[in-house]
Amino acid sequence: NKKMKIIILLLGVTFCLPNLLNAQNRVAKIDSNQLFDEYPGKDKYLEELDELREEYQQELKDMVNKLSISVKKFNEEKDLQSIETNQKRVEYVQNENKKIDEFKKLAMDELYEEQTSINKKMRENIRSAVSNVAKKQNLDFVIDSSSKNNIINAGCKDIFNDVKKELINLIAEREESIKDILGGW
């Protein structure tokens, strides 16, 4: 009888132990901000962005210089010109200033969009690489240590729908309970 209990216990441990060991979640961590800072090829992206910025700055400088030359010329000739011509020149300068302002805004918007696009692409690549490594290493979770609450899904079971159903059931049960209580009033 005692031997039989020991044999059953040993068989139980033999069959259950591997399942218990595999049931534990495998968790890893990564600092995605550090990975972003050390992103391979980031220097190339930044050089391309700097080149674009320099192109815009040069174009803006050319526009301002061209307008400055015109303003200088208009000021030198203003006494020799009619009121109508001087008024047209003032309007021309105002329009050119407006074009310069619009160009500045456009350049800033495009630089911002390009920077945002580069950052998004890098973040997506980081996320993809983390996910691939997690799958290869059979990790259930990867915790982003650069943020306290950011977990990158590594292909583990998504319980969103189960939790949503449970929440719906819980709310329905509470409403039913409230109706039962109020029914007695």
Q: Which range among 55-69, 73-87, 148-162 shows the weakest confidence by mean pLDDT? A: 148-162
Question: What is the model's pLDDT at position 163?
Answer: 46
- For the whole prediction, is pTM greater than 0.75? no
Which tens digit of pLDDT belongs to each residue from 122-137? 888 888 888 888 888 8
pLDDT at 152: 57
Give me the mean pLDDT over the 138-159 stretch. 64
Per-chain mean pLDDT for the chain: 80
Nearest residue to 36 (alpha-carbon basis) of 150, 136, 135, 139: 150
Mean pLDDT of 57-83: 95
pLDDT in tens, 101-117: 999 999 999 999 999 99
Is 185 a residue whose pLDDT tops 60?
no
Residue predicted with more confidence, 86 or 11: 86
